[in-house]
Structure 1
Amino acid sequence: MLKVKQIKSKIACKPDQVKTLAALGLRKIGQIKEHDDNAVIRGMIYKVRHLVEVVES
């Protein structure tokens, strides 16, 4: 499992990055969501890596 936490705002981001955050279930700064560790989720995290923090558990 991966815990993904949004640490920066999505205000000045490209629309596809905003949609990626929404697909990860992140709406607010400080919000944390758990996801399975697979290639799809890793790719989404890579796309918004400057906005999120990841903890493997």
Structure 2
Amino acid sequence: MRSLLLVNVELIWIKFSTVNNSKMNVIKIKQVRSAIKRPADQKATIKALGFRRLNHVVEKEETPQIMGMINKVKHLIVIVD
């Protein structure tokens, strides 16, 4: 039963991960301020965006989830052209 459930979950994951094959806009964001002495949720957001150090630039797809994360820590990052 457990393996059958696991197979169903994998199939559902494949279905939803391949539904939207359109190219999303890629944006570059750069961390310009430290996350030291910031609330834990902002530190977690910086980490989830993929930043490892100051002046680190990462490329992310422009999805509503990523834009919400960027909005949450907009005082610590800049969008690079």
2:71 matched to which residue of 1? 46
| Higher RCO structure (Cα 8 Å, ≥6 apart) | 1
TM-score, structure 1 normalization: 0.93
Larger-gyration structure (1/2): 2
Q: Which runs of 4+ in 1 moved over 4 A?
A: none
Higher normalized helix content (fraction of residues): 2
Aligned CA RMSD, in angstroms, stands at 0.9
So what's the TM-score if we normalise by structure 2? 0.66
The structure carrying a bigger strand percent of its residues is 1
State percent identity of aligned pairs: 39
Listed one character per residue, the Cα deviations across residues 4-46 of structure 1 (whole Å, up to 9, x for unaligned) are: 1000000011000000000000021000000001100000000
Alignment gaps of 5+ in structure 1: none
- Is residue 10 of structure 1 aligned with residue 35 of structure 2? yes
CA distance in 2, matches of 1:21, 1:46: 11
